[in-house]
Structure 1
Amino acid sequence: MSVRRFVGANSRDVMRQVREVLGDDALIVANRRTEGGVEILAMADDAVDQFDPSPTTPAEEPKASPAPAPVFSLPKQPDPLEAMSERLLREMQDMRELLARRQPLPTTQSGADTAYEHLRQLMARVGFSTELSEEVLEALPDELSALEATNDAPLNWLREQLMARLNVLQHEESFFDQTGIVALVGPTGVGKTTTTAKLAARFVMRHG
């Protein structure tokens, strides 16, 4: 194998020399810039076939890369708010199922048309517990209990009994002077937002 050295003012001039001497298939071995221009080392393409390479060290077998260390992911910390929401949803679902099971089926018994039975079924349908229904209806007077279900007197009596059990403030001063935090609870459309606006207006009128 013969490597030739070519020197010129620029790369174009040197490459022209290489092609003239070694042909268009010459192999460029190295090139570098010098103070006088450019130097290129080149060899003929057919010289490569005559090259007898020295014995080379057999390539090492690729080493098996170590197995990646197992990654242990920490258990996700439960979100307290999410857990509370799920628990409330489960409780609401359980309450619905319980109320559905307690929903009285239509009956043909003679007592089904009495005011007592009508009020008991009514309280179950609107969601009152069995314990509260029995406690309230135990005080139903006999003369009202024996009336027909279509009579309004037993229903008016029940309404008064339930209203009497509500724990409400008797005076406005007690609310605005003693109450600091108020929670309004109820389904959509019952007036929570309107009530909040009214309370805020009264508070401003009272305290400025």
Structure 2
Amino acid sequence: MNVRRYQARDMREAMRLVREHQGPDAVILSSRRVDGMLEVVAGTEVGAGAGPASASLALESTSPASTPALSIPVDPELAAMRRELCDLRSLLVQQQALSERDQWASRHPLAAEFVERLMKCGFNEKLARSLAGSIQESTPAEEAWSRLRTRLSAAIATAQPSVLERGGMLALVGSTGVGKTTTINRLALRQIRRMGPESISLVTLDRQRLGAYKQLQAFGQMAGIPVMLLESERDLVTLASRARDGNLILVDTEGRAARDVAERKLFAQVRQQIDLETWLVVPATHQASVLRQVLEAFQSCEPSALVLTKVDEAEQLGETLSVLLEQSLGLAFYSDGQRIDEDFHKADTAFLTRLALKEPASPARPEPQRPAAERTTNRAFEHAQVTRLPVTSQTRTEQESMVLESVVPFRKRVHAAY
């Protein structure tokens, strides 16, 4: 605030001096009689009115004869008054915003109801008002809500990557504990069912977490697929040159904090030499601010799709979907449980939207009959798991400790599309 002190014969002359030097927005802070003259202290916000902009608080004395202004030490009482005025200004701005919101709600009661409902589900206010802003107040409430739900579902980006069909090298990246290794197992099982165990290999670069390689190794032994522990990213170049056409290589990576990923670009040394696709694995349990930080940090890994895990553990899935709607990466798969097969699904935005809105899902459609070739592959895979390893106490203990009983192919639950 720019604060000045003026001396005049009366208040009319003092007001004239204040307007001339500080403009009509100036505020009279105090006035008193000094040696027969009226002393007035006035102030304006920095950059407002006609007064000069100043970053520091200065008090200037102006006489009727237009004597030069002199800077004097800051008066503690004026400084306290300045703080009170700033607080008052902030309060008035808040009150004005609340008043405008109430006025909007009174003019659009149905939209206001929907905004409140969305915010209770975790969606941020900006998104909620955007979704509800197109609602016609004359539309029946149930129909309007159905349209809003459809619009929200359609706004969530999805991805249909071709790497699972054509083969190649696919790496999963993400923070520690988000479910990368479990997702690798799930993708591998899906690929085995479709193409057979000879079409897939598992690779891990995670040499920090003790159980990561053992978990993949146990799965590989049960499924009859190779599992490799690599020393560094450069070993991927040699592996890619030896891979057969159409073979899918799934790469598990070490979990990293967002700040570490920003400092070191993963796969930067080998990306120009091999055809490598990366997917980012994120949990639905992250707070919005943390999820935004993770999405921004892992952009250096050039992910082409997202995998959303721990959907069943999210208290407010709307908070997660709000963040996903802010970025362009498409959702490829999501998981909503611990079972390797039954709780892993292709992206179904209609189902996720209903889940976020805390609405009951419609009855699932009957699962279509699997092709004969796929049924044959499933039977062969089940038989392979029974005969692959000799049943010993050590094997039984390892399998039980890894909780891999759901690796046996189950019938997959189908979420209905709305």
TM superposition score category, shorter chain reference:
0.3 to 0.5
TM value normalised by structure 2: 0.18
TM value normalised by structure 1: 0.32
Higher strand share: 2
